[in-house]
Structure 1
Amino acid sequence: MDSKFDHEPIHSSDRGRAGCDSILWSVPLSHPLLADDEIHVWCATLDQAPSYRGKLAETLSEDERQRAARFHFEGDRRRFIVGRGLLRSILGCYLNIKAGELAFCYNPQGKPSLATPLQIHFNLAHSHNLALYAITRRREIGVDIERVRPVSGMKEIVQRFFCAAEATHILSLPEEQKAEGFFNCWTRKEAYLKATGEGIAEALNQFEVSLRPGEPAALLHDAMNPTEASRWALFDLKPARDYAAALAVKEQLLQVQFGQWTADISNQATDH
């Protein structure tokens, strides 16, 4: 579901660093209501206390537990359990449904949705120990996050997978900005494809996004759907230092709210 461009493993040295990631977004005083013209984006750490992780695990479906059991490394298994448990917790708060009662279905590319249509659309992504969850009403949405890091063989990758203009822009950036430009491009592309439901199997070089550091996120052109670019909005997200993240939605005039999801928010929603 969360396919990564270079499939970089989390090595032992990275595990310690990922656990220290600090989320920049604030924790709201209470769980906010979702208006029709809003998108809520939550960032959460996947490094949760064992007691809370156990509560989240109890909400998983049998197929999710089977998927968790197939992970080779314990850290990856824990992150999957927390990631899916948090998704259930967040959606349960919006829908006033117990987290364990939610059921999901998946499109051929693996994008999840609620099995019972409830006018809520969502998408999720993770990188190392951080996860993003985007929630909205009656519109498809896509989100992606990546830790910015050196990319081995960047020139070959961008020339093979990105469109010519994107490759030129990335390779012309100052050396210290190349990785940020690369992951700006990648997260915006994946967010767009996840929103359309097509997944990254589609030709990445058939559409162009903005990518220069400091440049507003935008879908510039889609050769497969030439009239679509003006209908889509891309948002640059900054949930933590040294991370690139993006949100894609097929509607321009929307309000986006950001927050850090914690166990306390779930408890407050459950108590009301």
Structure 2
Amino acid sequence: MTALNHLWLPVPTDLTLLPNDAHVWRINLDIPEAQRQNLLTTLSGDEVSRANRFHFQEHRQHFIAGRGILRSILGRYLGIEPQQVLFDYEERGKPVLADTLAKSGLWFNLSHSQGLGLCAVNYHNRIGVDLEYMRPMSDLEALAKRFFLPSEYEVVRSLSPQQQQEAFFRYWTCKEAYLKATGEGLAQLEQIEILLNPTEPAQLKTSENWSLFELTPAQDYLGAVVVEGSGCHLKYWQY
């Protein structure tokens, strides 16, 4: 596995986010009912309504856990209570801090898959994170042909079935993390070029200055973080 399996550390009591740091939080979304009910009380009315629209109970529970824990994390950096965190939404639905909190310079992004979540946070630079559970896919080559550039599709096609799956999800997470950082959304997936081979870290090919980091937060999961600019140091916390 080329993506690094980092050591996820317990959060220090004197949590400090330095200007050149980005913090990545690993979040377990399968939590006790009592904890989930406590988190539910911190959500806004529109978040509760959104949670109630999920058809499957598991999806509703994961949404409550993810949003509640996101509020808890952001509240620590902002020095406010979780229920005081206010969001606005960009055109494609990406949550950002509301204007009253935006002066803090804090940027964040959240992704979750199955029962795991990742939250990435930094100051003053756009940031995106994507997390995917590597499930078996019978139509993997067809999806690669549809969503990836021809050169990327050829890389996937040239690999063994086991390597194909990992390469597909590496491409996907890297592309989606970038698109979540820019707020452009999945419609642009096939326009983002990733240079990738099975033995080296992936590279994001863009005319702008972005940093790409791959990670494996748990067995059978792949993730990626994209941060605007260069010289960023990542720290990894277990919520």
Give the TM-score normalised by structure 1.
0.82
Residues 1:237 and 2:215 are matched in the alignment: yes
CA distances 1:109-147 after superposition (whole Å, capped 9, x unpaired) = 111100021210000000000000000000100000001
Which position in structure 2 is the counterpart of 1:125?
A: 111
Give every structure 1 segment of 4 or more consecutive aligned residues whose post-TM-superposition deviation is greater than 6 Å.
none
Residues 211 and 128 of structure 1, relative CA distance in 2, 3 Å threshold: farther
Gaps of 5+ in 2: 1-5
CA drift of 1:217 comes to 2.4
1:219 to 204, 217, 232: 204
Of Structure 1 and Structure 2, the greater strand share is in 2
Aligned-residue Cα RMSD (Å) equals 1.4
Distance 1:45 1:57 in 2: 16
TM-aligned CA deviation for residue 24 of structure 1 = 6.0
Deviation at 1:242, TM superposition (A): 1.0
Label 1:137 to 1:27 Cα distance change in 2 as closer, same or farther (>3 A).
same
Percent of aligned pairs sharing the same letter: 45
Q: How far does residue 29 in structure 1 lie from its aligned partner after superposition?
A: 4.0
Shift of 1:214: 3.5
- Which one of the candidate residues 8, 13, 23 is aligned to 1:25? 8
Give the SS at the match of 1:211.
strand
Distance change >3 Å, CA 76–CA 134, structure 1 → 2: same
Q: 1:169 aligns with which of 155, 161, 164?
A: 155
Asked if structure 2 preserves the Cα contact closer than 8 Å seen for 1:24 and 1:240, the reply is no
Q: Which residue of 1 aligns with 2:97?
A: 114
- Residue aligned with 1:210, SS: strand
Report the secondary structure of 1:134's partner residue.
strand
* TM-score, length-scaled by structure 2: 0.93
- For structure 1, the residue ranges without an aligned partner over 5 or more in a row are 1-22, 262-272
- Cα distance in 1, alignment partners of residues 18 and 157 from structure 2: 41
- 1:43 and 2:21 correspond: no
Aligned pair partner of 1:93 in 76, 90, 103: 76
Give the AA of the match of 2:143: I
Residue 41 of structure 2 corresponds to residue 55 of structure 1: no
Aligned positions, number: 231
- Aligned-partner Cα distance in 1 for 2:14–2:46: 29
Cα deviation, residue 26, structure 1: 2.9
Rounded to whole Å, the distance in 2 between the matches of 1:63 and 1:24 is 36
